[in-house]
Amino acid sequence: MWCYTFDLRHSLSSYNKASRHVIPCKARSLTRFSCGGSSADQEIVIAMGSNVGDRVSTFDRALQMMKSSGPRFLNSAIRGMTRMGPHELLKKLKEIEKDIGRTGGIRYGPRPIDLDILLYGKSQIDSETLIVPHERIHERPFVLAPLVDLLGTSCDDGIETSWHSLSKCSGGFFELWKKLGGESVIGTEGIKRVLPVGNRLLDWSERTLIMGILNLTPDSFSDGGKFQQVEAAISQAKLLISQGADIIDIGAQSTRPFAKRLSPREELERLIPVLDEITKIPEIEGKLLSVDTFYVEVATEAVKRGVHMINDVSGGQLDPRILKVTAELGVPYVIMHMRGDPSTMQSEKNLQYDDVCKEVASELYTQVREAELSGVPLWRIKCGHNNEIIKGLKSIRSEIGKMSIGASHVPILLGPSRKSFLREICNHSNLVDLGPVTISAVTIGIMNGANIVRVHNAGYCAPGAKFYDSLYKGRRWEN
């Protein structure tokens, strides 16, 4: 489901426990295959791992090579249907390993890619070259964790039904996962979910991340026109970083209610001069850049120029091409919940909810699913939420978890900063004066499960996030 980091000493009981060797990124993932062959369709699970070189790029390359062999992506891991026989499938996977650079060697030693068949339909296979189900699946938390994330809890699922019939432990791998510690295992030194972004593996559970807003627009609701000039924009970026921002989110298109929509060309004319300069400043070292856009052309050009992630307020609804292009670009994608577009999102129809949390969760998951089917793996997706449902973030995660355990674990990005609902509550006419109440909204959001907060003034919000993390979650911030 995800990329996982884990310490080999915690995961393989037969390994030399005195060894200091650590595999920093071990992933288990699953996709749908439709390959030629004479046998009937069989649902399969393939494990994927890497511990040398550029591990994230290696994962992407392996997924693309399997895709060229006939897979259709259903999820961020590799879960599939194939007509290949098990040994034919094994041969294909070994060819992929070889093409990527695996040459054999020590069983648990360095290897750029490792592809294992964990499950093959309901079959039990025990030959000299292949054992299915994988003989050690029942004792490996780093294998079970992504399987549980991916397959959910429904026994109607084909692989889950197969596992129930094959598991050496009563109750299948969900019961086995609980016996190994379940979700309490995640976040320990032994195994962590991580998000590949830029040249790092980001563990968003370590602490709350601060996303600083840099609007290059003349008409944004609270700071329109302030940072249109390159010098002013760069100065603001430096200020946000000095205040504690981990991410700078650059937007050249206003998405406030009833905003006039720019063309991709107009948006790029605003964006590129600032982006080219911001990538040169020393302060940006170690920070992440995000582009706030819904246009394919803008996203593509921004990533080419050094942006690490795409923040799409429409979740692919305004330019559906962006989902496939994001998959090709291989960067994280923020899916925001929005009904309609900026000109209609505040209409009476779009503001009607019977059960806000349930409906938002359902609509968000639909968007996440569309992204997955377009080739964006879950390990590159973040969910952004409307500010009106800050107190319902836990319920939203729970509702999404009913549809997909893996999707319920994506990091949540919350953006309440200076929103009009805060002005209405506090009876403030000046949105810039909403710093103190924004801190409250951000803190409540973090308390309810937000992992990233998007704010105009990092100086207000970073200390609040730092204090909450330290006091309630035991997280540590670097000075």
Mind telling me the catalytic residues?
Answer: 419, 454
Q: What amino acid is encoded at 290 in this protein?
A: S
**CB proximity list for 318: less than 8 A, separation 6 or greater:** 294, 312, 341
Q: What amino acid is encoded at 462 in this protein?
A: A
Task: Please provide the DSSP assignment of 146-206 as one string.
Answer: HHHHHH-S-TTSHHHHHHHHH-SSTTHHHHHHHHTTGGGGBTSSSEEEEEEETTEEE-TTS
Distance of CA 120 to the CA centre of its chain: 28
Pairing of the two strands 412-414 and 381-385: parallel
Please give the structure tokens belonging to residue 401.
């978890």
Measure the CA–CA gap between 352 and 251, rounded to whole angstroms. Answer: 28
Measure the CA–CA gap between 460 and 244, rounded to whole angstroms. Answer: 10
Helix axis angle, 296-304 to 264-278, nearest 10°:
20
> With 0-12 CB in 10 A as exposed, 13-18 as middle and 19+ as buried, what is 30?
buried
Instruction: Say if CB 342 and CB 258 are below 8 A apart.
Output: yes
3-state SS class at 367:
helix
**CB proximity list for 155: less than 8 A, separation 6 or greater:** 161, 164, 172
CA atoms within 13 A on the CB side of 92: 23
Measured in degrees and rounded to the nearest 5, phi and psi for residue 385 equal: -130, 150
In this structure, is the dihedral angle defined by the CA atoms of residues 181, 184, 188 and 193, taken in order, positive or negative? positive
Give 373-431 as a 3 state SS string.
HCCCCHHHEEEEECHHHHHHHHHHHHHHHHHCCCHHHCCEEECCCCCHHHHHHHCCCCH
Q: Which residues pair with 412 in a beta bridge?
A: 383
Neighbours of 124 (CB within 10 A): 12
How is residue 411 annotated by DSSP? Answer: P
Measure the CA–CA gap between 360 and 385, rounded to whole angstroms. Answer: 8
